[in-house]
Amino acid sequence: MMKSIVSSKYLACLVGSIILNLLFIINIYVGGQWKLSWSLGAAIEAETVAAIYCSGHGRAYLDGLVVVGNKPVCDCNTCFTGPDCSQFIPHCTANADGLESVEELLRDLSMHSYSGDPLFLEPFWMQHLASSALVVAGWHQMSYTYGGKSFVSKELAKVVRKVHASVGNAVTQNRFIIFGAGSTQVLSAAVFALSPENTSSPAKVVTSVPYYPIDKQQTQYFSSQKFKYEGDAYRWKNRSDCSSTNMIEIVTSPNNPDGQLKKAIFHGPNVKTIYDHAYYWPHFTPIPAPSDEDVMVFTLSKLTGHAGTRLGWAVIKDETVFNRMMIHMQMNSMGVSKDAQLRAFKLLNAVLEEGTGIFDFAYQTMKSRWERLVQTVSLSNRFSLQENNPQYCTFYNKVRQLSPAYAWLKCEREEDKDCYAVLEAANIIGRQGNLFGAEDGYVRLSLVRTQDDFDILIKRLHKLITEENGDKTM
Amino acid sequence: MMKSIVSSKYLACLVGSIILNLLFIINIYVGGQWKLSWSLGAAIEAETVAAIYCSGHGRAYLDGLVVVGNKPVCDCNTCFTGPDCSQFIPHCTANADGLESVEELLRDLSMHSYSGDPLFLEPFWMQHLASSALVVAGWHQMSYTYGGKSFVSKELAKVVRKVHASVGNAVTQNRFIIFGAGSTQVLSAAVFALSPENTSSPAKVVTSVPYYPIDKQQTQYFSSQKFKYEGDAYRWKNRSDCSSTNMIEIVTSPNNPDGQLKKAIFHGPNVKTIYDHAYYWPHFTPIPAPSDEDVMVFTLSKLTGHAGTRLGWAVIKDETVFNRMMIHMQMNSMGVSKDAQLRAFKLLNAVLEEGTGIFDFAYQTMKSRWERLVQTVSLSNRFSLQENNPQYCTFYNKVRQLSPAYAWLKCEREEDKDCYAVLEAANIIGRQGNLFGAEDGYVRLSLVRTQDDFDILIKRLHKLITEENGDKTM
């Protein structure tokens, strides 16, 4: 009797234990993880680095700076320091600068921080880790070309078309798509491609004030017998000698610095127009209608926030222009990094998977930043912001305001001619108006950087304005 | 008695089962795999695509062409087709061409296949999967810069220095390192950077025949008031009017097309020299000594075989030249893709981990290809190859021959003035001598492509030669 009880207990334990065996077997052989072989080590390495704690004010990178041993250190946001980025630097400067001019670059090379990095989108990707993770084999895409045919990834072009279709910001059917190392290289390729082959007088490249400084600097840098930068488009409007010469107008719309939806000034048989649509996404502007221009330039940087990937594209109507831009890409860099194209492929697929996710996140972030900025500036009669007329947005099916990437701040006082200096005195670094062809009464402030950068900018602005108002309470 | 036997059996089973459970627990919680979270899906996806069978004559890519559903199809080697690349195309052309000229590009854009892809290294990476695998988080390196400071990854620069030190092919201590989109962009940056700022007469850019066609085409394409392409360096040697004008000589060493170790022709205060060392690796040449020139250009493409990554670098002595090249990178493409830099970081670390592995593999592959080529051509008095004088190699501590990336084939017969046509008639596509500034009695054949490409090249050459010798037996 005694024994039978014991043995039945054994039996119960045995059954339980066997069930547990089965559960483990199922977990291991149906769980999928057993499949991993060559990628396992790299995956563990990447997740280990990604897990390094940086207090929410930084992040550690796989190829990040290594100080001791081989563990990368935290890459901290501006104004934060320490091994885990937990220490705030009290009197640090609010960096609301961008990254555009040569002078800037040389100055910044020796400075701690700069750049109009669209890091406001970083939290979105930190919230969507699985859909945006990428695993690359060592032998992946070693060739110069795809299928021995082209520098352009057909599959990436497909995804780009899908994204434009889902947003409704550009017509891509029966259009050619070319990729380049960011919109910077694509814009340059377009200028070369649209310039006359053999001509005595180079094409006049113009942009209307306030313009994106890189267009001027880049065109001047590469200027040749083919084309020359001729400054503000308005200067040439209604000049008879232009009707005969070749003109190339670069239209940045929404505009950098002021975020306005711009239209071309020049029209006619001798005029070629390049639309820089880097900011033509719901993040920054209402989408009144899909754009359908001859040459439209976009960039991953202002869509997903991946500025470092250097991946821009052009949507082109004319095949000859497309072919000439392909030649430019070959002459310039023998095509575009396939790693950049693969990364963009993964990220844009993730964008599509998330539905309106990234647009909602980006728009809400920019909207709330603008609300805080407008509220702060409204306390002052010394400063003003660009106008912001609401328009109908076909993406959100509602009337909405602009939420531009940059604030185009104006110092209203007569004595504040040098608005940059006024802000600098308050520990705020912006970008001088004259760089955009405007007066120095204007300063451009970047609003697309990290939340830390934006919070410090608002804090400093608020301090400047309240002190000016004689309110020393804060 | 009976019961006790049964119960003791239960006990045995129970103990065994419990041990099994413990093993499972150990496997799961100490095996490391349990750590994987966000990267697991991407890892499984990548390994699944990598496992697609392509008969050893192709491979499937994560971003490869998708015909039906969402499973990428095999990307087949030249002369192979079918869903798994198993079908040989009998009369297909042996492609021993390179990818360099504009005419070529436009022709090739509409052709099935081209390019001097260094795919001979693909098998090495397929044999070293774990050390070369890369896992990237969606939020990885979104900024334009590294630490708000520079476009150049310090960690990648460190690895590049280590690789040069391990091979002994370049002096990198107290030198500046800059990255670009392949040596193509880096060479262009160097020409711009070495050209005089404000001058009435542009710098003369020269290369000595036979030269690398891209140097000519690129310099002509970007020519401006700053610099102009002036053709064969020998034409200008000993000309008095050169002693005063600024000269920029591009020295490709080992040379493309003929693989010879070249030296500069011009020297003096007005002369700047750019050494294109793309092929200065044990794969292709003995390493007599570490190079220590003012500006030395290298590329990942000819070291690891990753042409599609577009990652080249320059080792620079002078800080001003370095800064001007940095400005060029910004004006041209706002820096270099961080994804390309990350990939290079991973691959070069794998190169270091494998000791002399990749060099042994590359040298042995090129050596055996040359042995087969020399043997084949030696059967003929109609064709000849470039001279190949053995030299002492400090890397292998022995005297060895060159094993160049290209064969510089000469048609010896008077009537074979158009050597390209002779080969084309035998279904072999090479590159005309005149593209390199030489006579059309020469043709360049690429030897760095896939094993399939090389095998077909030898087969066709052998057929051509044996038929010419009246031997119709094969």
Contact A333 B113 (CB under 8 A): no
- For residue A306, tell me if it sits in a domain: yes
Helices B319-333 and B182-194 sit at what angle, rounded to 10 degrees? 120
Last residue of a domain, one of B355, B389, B408: B355
Q: Does A195 contact chain B (CB < 8 Å)?
A: no
Last residue of a domain, one of B335, B355, B375: B355
Contact B18 A18 (CB under 8 A): no
Amino acid sitting at position B134: L
Question: Chain B: residue nearest A146 by CA?
Answer: B64
Which residue is it, tokens 């603008």?
A: A370
- Both A382 and A369 in a single domain? yes
Question: Chain A: residue nearest B219 by CA?
Answer: A331
Alpha-carbon distance of B297 to B254, in angstroms, equals 12
E strand residue ranges, A38-91: 58-60, 74-76, 80-81, 87-88
Contact A139 B59 (CB under 8 A): yes
Amino acid sitting at position B99: L
CA distances from A390 to A291, A399, B344 (A): 19, 6, 47
Alpha-carbon distance of B436 to B419, in angstroms, equals 14
Selecting from B20, B155, B218 the residue whose C-beta is nearest the C-beta of A63 gives: B155
A472 has pLDDT over 60: no
B256 has pLDDT over 70: yes
Selecting from B62, B307, B343 the residue whose C-beta is nearest the C-beta of A143 gives: B307
Q: Mark which residues 351-390 of A lie under 8 Å from B by CB.
A: none
How many Cα atoms occupy the beta-carbon half-sphere of B466 within 13 Å?
Answer: 12
- Both A228 and A281 in a single domain? yes
Contact B135 A130 (CB under 8 A): no
3-state secondary structure of B410: strand
Q: Do A194 and A321 meet the contact criterion of CB atoms below 8 Å apart?
A: yes
Selecting from B47, B75, B217 the residue whose C-beta is nearest the C-beta of A39 gives: B47
A339 has pLDDT over 60: yes
Alpha-carbon distance of B9 to B1, in angstroms, equals 13
A vs B, Cβ pairs < 8 A, gives 421
Residue range(s) defining the domain that contains residue B389: 357-472
Position with higher pLDDT, A426 vs A147: A426
CA distance B103 to chain A (A): 9
CA distance A315 to chain B (A): 18
Task: Please give the pLDDT value at position A260.
Answer: 97
- Both B298 and B321 in a single domain? yes
Task: Please give the pLDDT value at position A153.
Answer: 96
- Both B198 and B251 in a single domain? yes
Q: Are strands B247-252 and B227-232 parallel, antiparallel or unpaired?
A: unpaired
Q: Do A203 and A194 meet the contact criterion of CB atoms below 8 Å apart?
A: yes
Q: Do B423 and B446 meet the contact criterion of CB atoms below 8 Å apart?
A: no
Which residue is it, tokens 């061409």?
A: B97
- Both A332 and A362 in a single domain? no
Contact A332 B155 (CB under 8 A): no
Lowest mean pLDDT: which of A198-202, A338-342, B27-31? Answer: B27-31
Mean pLDDT (whole number) for B314-329: 97
Task: Please give the pLDDT value at position B199.
Answer: 78
Q: Mark which residues 161-190 of A lie under 8 Å from B by CB.
A: 180-182, 184-185, 188
Whole-model pTM: value is: 0.91
- Both A277 and A178 in a single domain? yes
Q: How many Å separate Cα A272 from the centre of its chain?
A: 26
Q: Do A436 and A257 meet the contact criterion of CB atoms below 8 Å apart?
A: yes
CATH at residue A165: 3.40.640.10
Task: Please give the pLDDT value at position A48.
Answer: 95
Q: Are strands A442-446 and A406-411 parallel, antiparallel or unpaired?
A: antiparallel
Which residue is it, tokens 């939420």?
A: A403
A25 has pLDDT over 80: no
Task: Please give the pLDDT value at position A108.
Answer: 45
- Both B302 and B408 in a single domain? no
- Both A362 and A345 in a single domain? no
CATH at residue A46: 2.10.25.30
Task: Please give the pLDDT value at position A12.
Answer: 66
- For residue B2, tell me if it sits in a domain: no
Position with higher pLDDT, B108 vs A308: A308
- Both B319 and B387 in a single domain? no
**Structure token digits, residue A191:** 């200028």
Which of B36, B40, B227, B328 is the best substitution to test chain A (most A C-beta atoms within 10 A)?
B40
SS3 breakdown of chain B: % helix, strand, coil, rounded to 5?
40, 15, 40
CB atoms within 10 A of CB A317: 15
Q: Do B231 and B437 meet the contact criterion of CB atoms below 8 Å apart?
A: yes
Q: Are strands A406-411 and A87-88 parallel, antiparallel or unpaired?
A: unpaired
ipTM: 0.91
Which of A22, A125, A195, A310 is the best substitution to test chain B (most B C-beta atoms within 10 A)?
A310
Lowest mean pLDDT: which of A304-308, A399-403, B22-26, B245-249? Answer: B22-26
Could you report the per-residue pLDDT of A122-153, keeping only the tens digit for each? 999 999 999 999 999 999 999 999 988 799 99
Could you report the per-residue pLDDT of B184-215, keeping only the tens digit for each? 999 999 999 999 987 788 999 999 999 999 99
Q: Do A99 and A435 meet the contact criterion of CB atoms below 8 Å apart?
A: no
What φ, ψ does residue B380 adopt, rounded to 5°? -120, 150
CA distance A379 to chain B (A): 32
Chain A residues lying within 8 Å of B98, measured CB to CB: none
Could you report the per-residue pLDDT of B23-62, keeping only the tens digit for each? 655 555 545 445 699 999 999 999 999 999 999 999 999 9
Share of chain A above pLDDT 70, in %: 88
Chain A residues lying within 8 Å of B154, measured CB to CB: 65
Contact A37 B129 (CB under 8 A): yes
**End-to-end CA separation in angstroms for chain B:** 85
A27 has pLDDT over 70: no
Task: Please give the pLDDT value at position B427.
Answer: 93
- Both A215 and A325 in a single domain? yes
Q: Mark which residues 19-38 of B lie under 8 Å from A by CB.
A: 20-21, 24-25, 27-28, 32-33, 35-38
- For residue B233, tell me if it sits in a domain: yes
- For residue B118, tell me if it sits in a domain: no
Task: Please give the pLDDT value at position B109.
Answer: 40
Provide the residue count of chain A.
Answer: 474
Alpha-carbon distance of A49 to B73, in angstroms, equals 33
Mean pLDDT highest for which of A78-82, B148-152, B254-258?
B254-258
Task: Please give the pLDDT value at position A103.
Answer: 47
Mean pLDDT (whole number) for B332-336: 96
Task: Please give the pLDDT value at position A120.
Answer: 97
Alpha-carbon distance of B454 to B367, in angstroms, equals 13
pLDDT band at B471 (very low <50, low <70, confident <90, very high): low
The helices-and-strands tally (H runs, E runs) of chain A is 15, 20
**Structure token digits, residue A167:** 């947003």
Could you report the per-residue pLDDT of B95-124, keeping only the tens digit for each? 877 544 444 555 544 333 345 789 999 999
Q: Do B237 and B206 meet the contact criterion of CB atoms below 8 Å apart?
A: no
Chain B residues lying within 8 Å of A115, measured CB to CB: 143-145, 148
SS (H, E, C) B169-204: CECCCCCEEEEECHHHHHHHHHHHHHCCCCCCCCEE
Mean pLDDT (whole number) for B134-158: 94
pLDDT band at A109 (very low <50, low <70, confident <90, very high): very low
Q: Mark which residues 120-149 of A lie under 8 Å from B by CB.
A: 121-122, 125-126, 128-149
- For residue B30, tell me if it sits in a domain: no
Which of A131, A229, A330 is the best substitution to test chain B (most B C-beta atoms within 10 A)?
A330
Rg (CA), chain A: 27
Contact A143 B115 (CB under 8 A): yes
Task: Please give the pLDDT value at position A200.
Answer: 81
Could you report the per-residue pLDDT of A449-466, keeping only the tens digit for each? 999 999 999 999 999 999
E strand residue ranges, B53-159: 58-60, 74-76, 80-81, 87-88, 94-95, 134-136
Last residue of a domain, one of B301, B326, B355: B355
3-state secondary structure of A229: strand
Q: Do B89 and B79 meet the contact criterion of CB atoms below 8 Å apart?
A: yes
Selecting from A32, A38, A150 the residue whose C-beta is nearest the C-beta of B109 gives: A150
3-state secondary structure of A234: helix
- Both B309 and B349 in a single domain? yes
Alpha-carbon distance of A444 to A342, in angstroms, equals 33
CA distance B389 to chain A (A): 31
Lowest mean pLDDT: which of A51-65, A231-245, B156-170? Answer: A231-245
Residues in Cβ contact with A330 at an 8 Å cutoff, skipping those fewer than 6 apart: A151, B102, B105
**Structure token digits, residue A380:** 């002052």
Chain A residues lying within 8 Å of B149, measured CB to CB: 108-109, 111-113
**Structure token digits, residue A8:** 């039945």
- For residue A86, tell me if it sits in a domain: yes
- For residue B104, tell me if it sits in a domain: no
Contact B145 A114 (CB under 8 A): yes
- For residue A264, tell me if it sits in a domain: yes
The total domain count for chain B is: 3
Reference B204, options B238, B185, B229; nearest CA is: B229
Lowest mean pLDDT: which of A102-106, A113-117, A246-250, B337-341? Answer: A102-106
Lowest mean pLDDT: which of A443-447, B234-238, B314-318, B407-411? Answer: B234-238
- Both B64 and B194 in a single domain? no
How confident is the prediction for chain B on average, in pLDDT? 90
Contact B102 A330 (CB under 8 A): yes
Q: Mark which residues 222-281 of B lie under 8 Å from A by CB.
A: 222-225
Q: Do B102 and B436 meet the contact criterion of CB atoms below 8 Å apart?
A: no
Task: Please give the pLDDT value at position B124.
Answer: 98
CATH at residue A430: 3.90.1150.10
pLDDT band at A468 (very low <50, low <70, confident <90, very high): confident
Alpha-carbon distance of A106 to B319, in angstroms, equals 12
Question: Chain B: residue nearest A118 by CA?
Answer: B143
Q: How many Å separate Cα B114 from the centre of its chain?
A: 15
